[in-house]
Amino acid sequence: MSDTRFDDVRMRGFLRRADVDTVLTLLDARTSALPGEPVPLSEAAGRVLALVVTSNVDVPAFARAAMDGYAVCAADTADATPTAPRALTLVGESLPARPFSGEVKAGQAVRITTGAPVPLGADAVLMAELAELEAADRVAARAPVVSGKHIVRVAEDVARGSVVLPSGRRLRPQDVGLLASIGTATVTAVRRPRVAILVTGHEVLPPGAVPEGHKIVDSNSPMLAALAARDGASVLPVRYVRDDPAAVREALVTAAQQAEVILCSGGTSVGTEDHAPRAAAELGELAVHGVALRPAGPLGIAFLPAPGARRDASEPPTLPVVLFLLPGNPVSCLCAYDLFAGRVVRRLGGRSWELPYRTRALPLARDVPSTVGRVDYVRVKVEGNEVVPLGTGGASNLSTAVAADGFVLVPAALGHLTQGENVTVWLYDA
C-alpha cells in the first residue's frame, strides 16, 4: 500500500510539517475516555469515576450526639446558671449503636457519648463540662443549651438521593472515605489506558546494561514508562524490536491488540532504518509525520484499527489505537510525550487534557531565538525570580532536561522571546 504523504517524507525528508495546534485539534477530535469498569473501593483512590455516584442512604441515618454529655430537653435548661443549676433526673444512657430505648420527658436527662443516637424527646446535648453529676440518678445543668445544640441531624452529611460525586472525578482519599460511608463496595471507574512501549534501534541496550563500544543504553523506555504511569496508564512490559521492516510491523500489530496507546521510540525519521512510519502507514492511517516543533520534529502519529468490532449499532464505535512514533533523541521523546502522547493517555483515562504541570509566569533572563511557524520546547531553570533558558539544541543530552526546572513554549507565531518579557514556565515538579 502506498501513502502519498508518507512517500513524500521518505524520499525528500520533512518538507511539510504539521503545526502543533493542528495536531492537538486532531488528537482532541479522535480521542475520548475509555468505558468504565468495576473497581473495588480499596483500589479506587486515584481512579476517575465513569458514572455519577448518588447516595441511597442518609448519613447519618439517625440523629447523633456531637459531644459527650447529657441528652436533654433544651427548654429545661433555659434558666440554668453555675450558681443556680437546674436539677434533672437521669433516666438512662445512650452509647454508640446501643441507644436508650425510652423517651426523655421534661425534667429528665440521658447520659450520652459522642456518636450515640439522641433519644426520642431530647432536642439538645448538654456538654459534660456544663453539667454536674450529683447522684446516680441526678444531674445538674449549670448552663442553658438551645434546641438542636450538639446534635448532628439526620442526613446532615449526605442526603438520600443526592449526588455525592460527579462523573469525571479523580478520587481523592477523602472521596473514598465518603463513598464507604454511603455503603459503596465498588465504583465504576474509567478503564486505565494500556500503554505499549516499543524500542527500536540496534544500538540500544536494555536499562541495567552498561554502555559499551558504540552501544548506548535505552533511556527512553524507563522515562516513558514513568510518564505514562504518572498519567494513570497501565504500562505493558517494554518490547525491544529489531530494525527490520517485518519485525517492526509484527511488533506494531501485536501491540495494537494489547494496548490503546503505543509509544514507539526511535526509527521515526527518514533514514534507511526508519521502518516504523512505513509500517504505520500500511497498517492504519499515518495522520502526522513531521511536526513544526523543536525538538521532536520527526514525530509521527498514526491511528491503527483496534481489535474487535462493536457488536451492534447501539455501542459506540471502537476508538482506534493511537500510535506515537517518538524521535529517538531522549529530549525529543520527552517533549513529544509532554505535548502530545501524555494528553492522549490522560484523555483515555478520563483525566484532564491540560499539561499536568504547575505553571509560573516570570520574566526571561535572556532572549530565546526561535523561528516563526515552529513551536520551541525550551528547557529552563528558575533562578531567583527569573527564567534562564537552557537552550533547545542538544536533544540527545537528557542531562539538560534533568538540570531544568521546567520548560517554556515559544509559540509558532513568534520568531523569538525577548529578555524581560513574562513567560509561562511549566514546572516538572509538582
Ligand X SMILES: Nc1nc2c(c(=O)[nH]1)N[C@H]1C(S)=C(S)[C@@H](COP(=O)(O)OP(=O)(O)OC[C@H]3O[C@@H](n4cnc5c(N)ncnc54)[C@H](O)[C@@H]3O)O[C@H]1N2
Name which position in 302, 329, 343, 364 contacts ligand MOO (CB under 6 A). Answer: 329
Region 366-405 residues binding ligand MOO, contact defined as CB under 6 A: 395
Report if residue 300 touches ligand X, rule: CB under 6 A: no
x-marked contacts with ligand X along 229-258 as a string, rule CB under 6 A: ------------------------------
Q: What is the DSSP string of 56-79?
A: SS-BSSS-EESSSEEEE-GGGGTT
Closer to ligand X by Cβ: residue 104 or 248: 248
Distance, CA of 290 to CA of 302 (rounded, Å): 12
Contact call for residue 409 and ligand MOO (CB under 6 A): no
User: Which residue from 99, 201, 277, 350 is in contact with ligand X, where contact means CB under 6 A?
Assistant: 201
Residue closer to ligand X by CB (options 77, 332) is 332
Output the smallest distance, CB 403 to ligand X, in A. 17
Q: Is 368 strand, coil or helix?
A: strand
Greatest alpha-carbon span in the chain: 101
Q: CB of residue 426 vs ligand X: minimum separation in angstroms?
A: 21
* Closer residue to ligand MOO in complex, CB, 14/128: 14
Told to check if 274 binds ligand X by CB under 6 A, we report yes
Query: Of 73-81, 131-139, 233-241, 294-302, which segment contacts ligand X by CB under 6 A?
Result: 294-302
Task: Please list the alpha-helical segments (H only) found in 147-275.
Answer: 173-181, 220-230, 245-258
Alpha helices per DSSP H over 195-286: 220-230, 245-258, 276-283
Nearest approach, Cβ of 232 to ligand X (angstroms)? 23
Burial 262-283 (b: 16+ CB within 10 A, else e): bbbbbbbbeeebbbbbbbbbbb
- Nearer Cβ to ligand X (117/201): 201
Distances (CA, A) of 414 to 197, 219, 372, 374, 388: 34, 32, 5, 8, 19
Residues that bind ligand X (rule: CB under 6 A) add up to a total of 28
User: Which own/partner pairs from 416-421 qualify as long-range (CB within 8 Å, at least 24 positions apart)?
Assistant: 416/367, 416/368, 416/369, 416/370, 417/364, 417/367, 417/368, 417/370, 418/364, 418/367, 419/364, 419/365, 419/366, 419/367, 420/363, 420/364, 421/363, 421/364
User: Of 52, 51, 53, 46, which Cα lies nearest the Cα of 346?
Assistant: 46
Q: ∠ CA(202), CA(208), CA(210), 5° rounding?
A: 70
| Residue 357 within binding range of ligand X, rule CB under 6 A | no
- Write out the binding residues for ligand MOO, residues 282-311 only, by CB under 6 A: 294-298
Binding-site string for ligand X from residue 313 to residue 352, where x marks contact by CB under 6 A and - marks none: --------------xxxx-x--------------------
Task: Tell me if 200 contacts ligand MOO by CB under 6 A.
Answer: no
> Would you say how long the chain is, in residues?
430
Query: Dihedrals φ, ψ of 338, to 5°?
Result: -55, -50
The x, y and z cell numbers of residue 406, run together, are: 521546567
Q: Does 117 sit near ligand X (CB under 6 A)?
A: no
Cβ 292 to ligand MOO shortest distance, Å: 11
Q: Report the partner that residue 300 touches, choosing among ligand X, ligand MOO, none (CB closer than 5 to 8 A by kind).
A: none
Which one, 295 or 300, has the nearer CB to ligand MOO? 295
CA torsion sign for 299, 230, 356, 416 is: negative
Residue 253 and residue 246: Cα distance in Å, rounded?
Answer: 11
Q: Smallest distance, Å, CB 335 to ligand MOO? A: 7
Q: Which three cell numbers stand for residue 87?
A: 436539677
C-beta closer to ligand MOO: residue 145 or 368: 368
How many Cβ atoms are within 10 Å of 170's Cβ, its own excluded?
17
Q: Smaller CB distance to ligand X: residue 41 or 216?
A: 216
157 forms part of the interface with ligand X (CB under 6 A): no
Binding residue for ligand X (CB under 6 A) from 77, 108, 269, 370?
269
| Partner whose binding site includes residue 419, from ligand X, ligand MOO, none (CB under 5 to 8 Å by kind) | none
Q: Which residues form the interface with ligand X (CB under 6 A)? A: 13-14, 199, 201, 203-204, 216, 218-220, 265-271, 274, 295, 297-298, 327-330, 332, 395-396
